Structure 1
Amino acid sequence: MDLFKDGMNEIWDPAAIETVLKKHVKSNNAKIVTFDEDGISGHANHISLFRGVSRFAKNHNKQGMELYVLKSVNFLEKYSFTMLTNIELIFHHLSKLIIGKVFNVSVNISVFKLTIGKKSLQFYSDLNMLSVSYAAMAYGHYSQMVWFRYGWLIFSRYLNHNQLIQVE
């Protein structure tokens, strides 16, 4: 029986995810990355992972362990590809330069959302990494390449910009 069957409507047991993590996360200084509570478009597998990983982090608080979640974005932001990413970069750098220095606070300004006081990591792809992302999706996830995935490959900002937010 497959506990972690892939699918938009497949809900995984958080306790089973916690059990797997207990077996594999041995280091106190582990850094874990998962989806946030919205699961990128409400994907049931992604939400289940967030719940299972959160449960593990709560029940097995290892000294020095860091948990990061991939920030979900709204529809417009998700399918903006580089247009909004370039605006994001400008907002990000200006907020760090002006607000962060003047008020000595961690600030992440998005076109659509303001996050204050949480550690955030921003990742931007160059053309080389973008081509690797295309190849990984098209070839590594070939079974998932239905007609609408091609639109995702063309327009999704997740291929060129991602933000990880640290969970306390």
Structure 2
Amino acid sequence: MVRRRDVAVSLLCLSKGDHDGHGETRKKELVRAAVSFGMTPDSVIIVEDQNLPDDPKKAWNVALVAKTIEAVVVAGDVDTVFTFDRQGVSGHPNHIAAYMGVKHMALTSQRFKLRPINAYALESIGIVRKYCSIIDTVFSLSILLSSKESLVFVSDVQAYSIGVQAMSMHESQMVWFRKLYLAFSRYMFINTYSKIN
């Protein structure tokens, strides 16, 4: 999306990733990753709200998440939002809360009754397909052909290389299984989204 001149892309992160005490480092890493994709540092919005802690054991208040996202959407005149789905890709409760917040916002906010926003959720897939790499294209493209409400993004070699570079910017999180993710995860090559609203 960043490559398109007719699209302005912003990145909203609902916490600074401070669960392990590396929040300031992770903020810098996220900005560097976004810049490697061609974004500007000021297009990265990182929320620092103690009510939205980076913690896999704490549930976020869905109404607060919706209100936080809505404020950014309105301020930036955003017309399309991409987020996780109800499984949060990895089952992380903060990711799931992000989905629930976007869904709540899109369906209930009075601001979007007259001018609806498009909201899409990244589709979580099973572990076998997750690590099928580019081979999963066969399954994912069949989803696109069967649904008018789905989007499919496929990375070419250049986009994959940029994705690897961006992921590598997250040095504080680059543990062994994330290196396997870079090589084998289908999310590095292809992502399918379904419409939320």
Match of 2:130 in 1: 78
CA 89–15 in structure 1, closer or farther in 2 if over 3 Å, else same = closer
SS of equivalent to 1:56: helix
SS of equivalent to 1:122: strand
- After superposition, give the CA deviation of every residue in 1:66-118 in whole Å (9 maximum; x if it has no partner): 11100110001101001222x2366468xx4xxxxxxxxxx14xxxxxxxxx5
**2:196 equivalent to 1:167:** yes
What is the CA–CA distance in structure 1 between the aligned matches of 2:63 and 2:78, rounded to whole Å?
Answer: 22
What is the CA–CA distance in structure 2 between the aligned matches of 1:130 and 1:83, rounded to whole Å?
Answer: 14
What is the CA–CA distance in structure 2 between the aligned matches of 1:137 and 1:71, rounded to whole Å?
Answer: 20
Name which of 38, 58, 68 aligns with 1:20: 68
Amino acid at match of 1:24: V
What is the CA–CA distance in structure 2 between the aligned matches of 1:50 and 1:72, rounded to whole Å?
Answer: 12
Moved more, 157-166 or 6-15: 6-15
What is the CA–CA distance in structure 2 between the aligned matches of 1:122 and 1:90, rounded to whole Å?
Answer: 7
**C-alpha displacement of 1:163:** 0.6
Name which of 18, 30, 53 aligns with 1:5: 53
Match of 1:68 in 2: 120
Specify the structure having the higher radius of gyration (Cα).
1
Identical-pair percentage: 32
TM-score, with length taken from structure 1: 0.76
- Number of aligned residues: 145
Report matched runs for 1:12-161 at 5 Å: 12-26=60-74, 30-60=79-109, 62=112, 63-85=115-137, 87-88=138-139, 91=142, 96=145, 107-108=146-147, 118-139=148-169, 141-161=170-190
What is the CA–CA distance in structure 2 between the aligned matches of 1:89 and 1:21, rounded to whole Å?
Answer: 29
**C-alpha displacement of 1:124:** 0.4
User: Which structure 2 segments of 5+ residues have no match?
Assistant: 1-48
Amino acid at match of 1:165: S
CA 92–17 in structure 1, closer or farther in 2 if over 3 Å, else same = closer
Amino acid at match of 2:118: E
What is the CA–CA distance in structure 2 between the aligned matches of 1:58 and 1:89, rounded to whole Å?
Answer: 27
Amino acid at match of 2:160: L
Q: Give me the CA root mean square deviation.
A: 2.3
